């Protein structure tokens, strides 16, 4: 049975500016993300620098604004000096986090080239496991200092005379996790982060630092780790990292499709910690959230490489329900845009990724499409929409609205968009969109990801089972429009500004 719903929008009810850095990605030396994914000089698709052109083309469609690198768990055992300079002199190493062989043929300079080719901002992770504060400061000098001193000259000798000017730096990765190489207690981590931050900002006062937050709400230290480390490092840092991976391990699709409730709680908790610490310290400084690892990940836990190069690790296959969870996550980024300023989809190729490769082909997974649509249509200000719709019952979150919605308005460009997930597995929604101010004349860009089977997935044999389809324009009259959203669907209804 169809259900009725109404979405009210008002150009005057703005939640804040949508940071372009909310559309970031994460690329780790893990499995086939770098080698055999992004970088494969032996491939017939490789460009002059060894990047796979077919992969680059797909990444351009996702148009990542910022890319975090080189880890992840990998970074906590990584010596950045191994990955720079003449390739034939770079060491092969046993990489402990993923028990793989690291050839170091791809390193800092290749990563910067990769980002420049994509037009993405680099976000550099630092080794806080086996690495020292001196190693961290030296890497800032290597990347950002003008020539004339040891590490800047080393960079120049590697072919990069001009500084890379890397602005965003992560002070370690998941340092509260027992699985992390060099795992630390909160106070010990915070003291190290504080001293590293001082040295790094003395090298370059323009950099922005991300403090390593707790690895997730399931951690016993959450959210005390965040409070303690912020209290020590508040004035030195600009962002607090958050990580979370969602899943449907018990095949409870009703609850899984309500995951946005959990994502919002996670943000609200950490936003409260930020407010508390700022008040306690009587600070004028602000720290924001960097959700720099987020994705669905629960099906594939093959994480040990058996000491081989580029093993097949964490190659998760995504289906329709996963894509609907990704869409809700991005709705949450828009709704929480006043505090979440950076977000990185983990990861970008092969490893828990929207793109899979074989030696000569690529596959766009279901999750590719919601990300692509948000990247294309989300911008300007996020709007505080009012949604009236029935609720449904879930085991995990109680009663939850059947629709999950966000909206944005780019007044300068005359563009706006509504992003809506219909969580119902059986019923279409008949939705009336009502503008209290700022109505467009037509919704001329309507795109939808939908299907009858929540488990439907793309494969190399059948690559178009779950994709985004462009639908006919929807007329707006008297500041109202009516659309029908099928069950298990994600729909973008946008006015391009040209209509
Ligand atoms: O993205 C895969 C891994 O998940 C990362 O290396 C780590 O930071 C997290 O636990």
- For the segment 297-312, what is each residue's pLDDT rounded down to a tens digit? 999 999 999 999 999 9
Residue nearest to atom 2 of ligand 1 (CA): 72
Ligand 1, atom nearest to 346 Cα: 1
What is the structure's pLDDT at 414?
87
Beta bridge partners of 251: none
Mutate to test the pocket of ligand 1, among 31, 97, 173 (most ligand atoms within 8 A of CB): 173
Cβ-contact 426, 491 below 8 angstroms? no
CA of 461 to the centre of ligand 1 (A): 29
Arithmetic mean of pLDDT over the chain: 97
Give the number of the atom of ligand 1 that is nearest the alpha carbon of residue 295.
1
Place of tokens 């059986």: 426
Residue nearest to atom 4 of ligand 1 (CA): 72
Q: What local confidence, expressed as pLDDT, does residue 413 receive?
A: 85
**pLDDT (mean) for 393-401:** 98
Mean of the pLDDT values across residues 24-48? 97
State in Å: Cα 352 to ligand 1 middle.
10
**Nearest residue by C-alpha to atom 3 in ligand 1:** 72
Mutate to test the pocket of ligand 1, among 74, 76, 298, 346 (most ligand atoms within 8 A of CB): 346
Q: Is 445 annotated as catalytic?
A: no
The model's confidence at residue 497, banded by pLDDT at 50, 70 and 90, is confident
- pLDDT(324) > 90: yes
How far is Cα 400 from Cα 306, in angstroms, rounded to an integer? 44
Mutation test residue for ligand 1: of 28, 74, 181, 298, the one with most atoms within 8 Å of CB: 28
Cα–Cα dist 253/246, whole Å? 12
Give the pTM: 0.98
* Closest-lying ligand 1 atom to the alpha carbon of residue 97: 6
Bridge partners of 387, per DSSP, are 7
Please tell me the distance between residue 71's alpha carbon and the centre of ligand 1 in angstroms: 7
- Beta-bridged to residue 294, according to DSSP, are 244, 345
Span from the CA of 72 to the centroid of ligand 1 (angstroms): 5
Q: Give the pLDDT band of residue 371 (cuts 50, 70, 90).
A: very high
21/275 Cα distance (integer angstroms): 22
CA dihedral 106, 109, 111, 112 (to 10 degrees): -170
> What's the pLDDT band for 499 if we cut at 50, 70, 90?
low
- pLDDT tens for 410-464 read 998 889 999 999 999 999 999 999 999 999 999 999 999 999 999 999 999 999 9
| pLDDT higher than 80, residue 173 | yes
Give the pairing type, strands 469-471 and 445-450. antiparallel
φ and ψ of 166, to 5 deg:
-75, 125
Average pLDDT over every residue of 136-155: 98
Determine the number of helices (DSSP H) and then strands (DSSP E) in the chain: 10, 27
Alpha helix ranges (H) inside 19-90:
53-62
What percentage of residues in the chain have a pLDDT greater than 70? 100
| Cα 434 to averaged position of ligand 1 atoms, centre (Å) | 42
Supply the pLDDT for residue 316.
98
Q: How much distance in Å is there from the Cα of 90 to the middle of ligand 1?
A: 25
Which of 346, 363, 344 lies closest to 355, judged by CA? 363
Query: Which of ligand 1's atoms lies nearest the C-alpha of 30?
Result: 6
Is residue 307 a contact partner of residue 325, using CB atoms and an 8 Å limit? no
Q: What is the pLDDT of residues 157-170, one digit of tens each?
A: 999 999 999 999 99
Of 141, 293, 316, 321, which one is the catalytic site residue? 293
**CB burial string 371-386: b at 16+ within 10 A, e below:** bbbbbbbbbbbbbbbe
Number of C-alpha atoms within 13 angstroms, CB side, residue 192? 24
Residue 498 pLDDT exceeds 80 = no
Distance between CA atoms of residues 258 and 332, nearest Å: 12
User: Taking residues 269-285, what's their average pLDDT?
Assistant: 98
Q: Using the predicted structure, report yes or no on whether residue 494 has a pLDDT greater than 90.
A: yes
293 is catalytic: yes
CA of 359 to the centre of ligand 1 (A): 25
Q: How far apart are CA 325 and CA 333, in angstroms?
A: 13
Which protein residues touch ligand 1 with a CB less than 6 Å away? 28, 71-73, 173-174, 293, 346-347
Check pLDDT > 70 for residue 136. yes
Q: Which of 95, 121, 174, 321 is catalytic?
A: 174
Q: Which residue has the higher pLDDT, 373 or 412?
A: 373
Question: Ligand 1 atom 5: the closest Cα is on which residue?
Answer: 72
Q: Where are the alpha helices (DSSP H) in 35-181?
A: 53-62, 108-118, 133-144, 150-157
């Amino acid at each position: 049975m169809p259900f009725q719903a109404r979405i009210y929008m008002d150009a005057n009810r703005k939640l804040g500016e949508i940071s372009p850095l909310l559309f970031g990605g994460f690329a780790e030396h893990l499995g086939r993300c770098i080698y055999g994914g992004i970088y494969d000089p032996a491939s017939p698709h490789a460009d002059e620098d060894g990047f796979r052109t077919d992969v680059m083309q797909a990444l351009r469609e996702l148009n990542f604004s910022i890319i975090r690198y080189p880890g992840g768990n990998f970074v906590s055992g990584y010596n950045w000096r191994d990955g720079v300079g003449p390739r034939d002199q770079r060491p092969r190493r046993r990489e402990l986090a993923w028990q793989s062989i690291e050839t170091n043929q791809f390193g800092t300079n290749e990563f910067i080239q990769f980002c420049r080719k994509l037009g993405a901002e680099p976000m550099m992770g630092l080794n806080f496991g086996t690495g020292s504060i001196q190693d961290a400061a030296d890497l800032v000098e290597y990347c950002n200092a003008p020539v004339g001193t040891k590490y800047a000259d080393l960079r120049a000798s590697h072919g990069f005379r001009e500084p890379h000017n890397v602005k965003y730096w992560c002070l370690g990765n998941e340092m509260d996790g027992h699985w992390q190489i060099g795992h630390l207690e909160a106070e010990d981590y915070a003291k190290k982060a504080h001293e590293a931050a001082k040295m790094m900002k003395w090298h370059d006062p323009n950099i922005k630092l991300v403090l390593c937050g707790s690895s997730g709400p399931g951690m016993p230290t959450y959210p005390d780790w965040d409070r303690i480390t912020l209290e020590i490092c508040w004035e030195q840092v600009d962002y607090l990292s958050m990580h979370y991976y969602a899943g449907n391990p018990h095949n409870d699709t009703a609850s899984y499709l309500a995951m946005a409730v959990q994502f919002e709680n996670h943000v609200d908790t950490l936003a409260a910690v930020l407010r508390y610490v700022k008040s306690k310290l009587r600070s004028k400084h602000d720290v924001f959230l960097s959700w720099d690892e987020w994705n669905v990940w629960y099906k594939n836990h093959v994480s040990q490489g058996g000491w081989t190069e580029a093993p097949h690790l964490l190659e998760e296959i995504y289906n329709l329900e996963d894509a609907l969870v990704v869409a809700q996550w991005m709705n949450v980024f828009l709704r929480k845009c006043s505090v979440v300023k950076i977000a990185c989809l983990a990861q970008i190729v092969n490893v828990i990724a929207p793109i899979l490769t074989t030696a000569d082909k690529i596959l766009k997974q279901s999750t590719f499409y919601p990300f692509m649509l948000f990247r294309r249509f989300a911008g300007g200000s996020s709007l505080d929409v009012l949604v009236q719709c029935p609720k449904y019952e879930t085991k995990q979150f109680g009663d939850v609205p059947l629709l999950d919605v966000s909206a944005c308005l780019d007044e300068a460009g005359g563009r706006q968009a509504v992003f809506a997930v219909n969580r119902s597995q059986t019923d279409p929604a008949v939705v009336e969109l009502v503008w209290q101010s700022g109505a467009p004349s037509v919704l001329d860009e309507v795109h939808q990801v939908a299907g009858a089977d929540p488990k439907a997935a793309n494969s190399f044999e059948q690559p178009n089972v779950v994709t985004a389809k462009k639908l006919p324009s929807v007329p707006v009259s008297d500041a109202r429009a009516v659309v029908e959203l099928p069950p298990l669907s994600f729909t973008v209804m946008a006015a391009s500004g040209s209509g």
